[in-house]
Amino acid sequence: MHIAITRLDEHIARFTLSGTTPAFANAFRRAMISEVPTLAIEDVRIYDNNSALFDEMLAHRLGQIPLHTDLETLVAADQCSCGGVGCPGCCVTYTLSVEGPKMVYSGDLIPEDPKAAPVHDNIPIVKLIDGQKIVLEARAVINTGKEHAKWQSTIACGYKAYPVIRIDDRCDACGMCVEECPRGVLRTGGRTVEIVDGRLEYCSLCRLCERACLAGGIGEQPAIHVTPDPSRYIFVVESDGSLPVREIMERALLFLKRQSKDLVDILRDISGGTANETSS
């Protein structure tokens, strides 16, 4: 298996995974979405709220705010030495005390640990008019997207099969497929149509080019053939900012490795220690 990264910054990764299977590509995607732990507000103690939002709606909105997460210092409550009671090792508390008239933003949440501040301070929570007031205390804990979407650290995480475009020698470079292609992948070159340098990955596999070719009366089969490569996938992963996207990828892969090892251990137990360990 091979990963070729074409873009990697704090929030977005774009890479091609080769020599793999559709099952692994999907398992990797699902692990990034639902198995990487992150921080989100879970409990809210409301002391005062006469805003237009009910307490429950206010708590729900607070839960959706992405929070910077340091997984080197925070663990899930059920793995914490406090036994899940709640301590600085497994939860972060925030206070919010505001009076109208004012738009309340995520930046008004004051974290007990500044490293766990909201990722963005301009997410609107509720608008207060004169005389309205909110005073609350919130507690964020570590969990995964499998439990609830608010613990999902990716906001976009998807892939598509790598496109394979073959042009056969019946092509007369008429250019109809070039005009039809919405992604600028094709161009008329010499004797046949060609793929524009660096544009192949932008092909969406829509196959409009094949239809255009058929509409030109070439016969029963087009001269251009677009197929997905089942062993190669282009991924785009975007973090919500709670974790660097690189950490999301690494933790998802470590999760899959752990799961595979657990499965090998179980098989070994069942077969009396004769299961072979494999790696990829």
Answer whether 203's CB lies under 8 Å from 234's CB: no
**Would you state the structure tokens that stand for residue 100, as one six-digit string?**
């109208």
List strand residue ranges (DSSP E) for 10-147, in order: 12-18, 38-49, 91-99, 102-105, 110-111, 124-128, 133-143
Tokens 């752990």 correspond to what residue?
Answer: 258
Residue with Cβ nearer ligand SF4 (96 or 176): 176
Residue with Cβ nearer ligand SF4 (100 or 175): 175
Provide the minimum distance between the beta carbon of 267 and ligand SF4 in the complex, in angstroms, as a whole number: 42
**Would you state the structure tokens that stand for residue 274, as one six-digit string?**
């004769």
Give bridge partners of residue 278 from the DSSP assignment: none
Q: How far apart are CA 162 and CA 195, in angstroms?
A: 14
Provide the minimum distance between the beta carbon of 120 and ligand SF4 in the complex, in angstroms, as a whole number: 34
Does residue 80 bind Zn ion (CB under 5 A)?
yes
Contact partner, 89, from Zn ion, ligand SF4, none, Cβ < 5-8 Å per class = Zn ion
Distance of alpha carbon 194 from the chain centroid: 34
Distance of alpha carbon 3 from the chain centroid: 17
Answer whether 166's CB lies under 8 Å from 224's CB: yes
According to CB under 6 A, which residues from 149 to 208 bind ligand SF4?
A: 163, 165, 167, 171-177, 180-181, 183, 185-186, 193, 203-208
Residue with Cβ nearer Zn ion (73 or 221): 73
Does residue 234 bind ligand SF4 (CB under 6 A)?
no
Provide the minimum distance between the beta carbon of 257 and Zn ion in the complex, in angstroms, as a whole number: 26
Residue with Cβ nearer Zn ion (82 or 205): 82
What single-letter amino acid sits at 258?
R
Does residue 237 bind Zn ion (CB under 5 A)?
no
Residues that bind ligand SF4 (CB under 6 A): 163, 165, 167, 171-177, 180-181, 183, 185-186, 193, 203-209, 212-213, 216, 218, 222-224, 226
Binding-site ranges for Zn ion (CB under 5 A): 80, 82, 87, 89-90
